[in-house]
Amino acid sequence: MSGGTSKYHKVRIGGNRHFASTYVQDQFLFGVDTIHSESVTSGMTATIGESVNNKLAIKASISVHLGLILNKKKLSVEASYKDSDGGKLLGFDRSDETLHLSASYPLTGYVSTNLGYHKTNSSIDYYDTKYPTFGLQLKSLSF
């Protein structure tokens, strides 16, 4: 590549058999991870699931992530979208679309924070959700 910069890619193609408590679903997976530089990485994973009769299961999903070094610490940003269908509730069809956004950043060598937002839009309004997420993670200590 020109300018002395190189990108490194890892491509994943394959299948997955998802075992849930009441069904099994075969899924096709495709993903790409890229190292852009010493301080920037990115990736994308897409999933397509087979139809499962009378069970709410993944129809398609995509997730993307970006990692970059900010003030000598790794900032991670993630976004995902999932479309699920096939479910039934009292004879009514159910399908859900879920969006999740999050960012995490270490505050110190022992404490990291995570901020995010989660939204599910269901064909059955009872299952609609919208909420922020916040977390603090403490690094495990060894004695």
What is the rounded distance in angstroms from the CA atom of residue 88 to the CA atom of residue 95? 9
What is the rounded distance in angstroms from the CA atom of residue 140 to the CA atom of residue 122? 38
What does the DSSP assignment read for 41-78?
EEEEEEEEE---TTS-EEEEEEEEEEEEEETTEEEEEE
pTM of the model: 0.83
Nearest Cα residue to 58 out of 67, 66, 49: 49
Q: How does pLDDT run along the chain (143 residues), one tens digit per residue?
A: 345 567 899 999 999 999 988 889 999 999 999 999 889 999 999 999 999 888 889 999 999 999 999 889 999 999 999 999 988 888 888 999 999 999 999 998 889 999 999 999 999 988 999 999 999 999 887 77
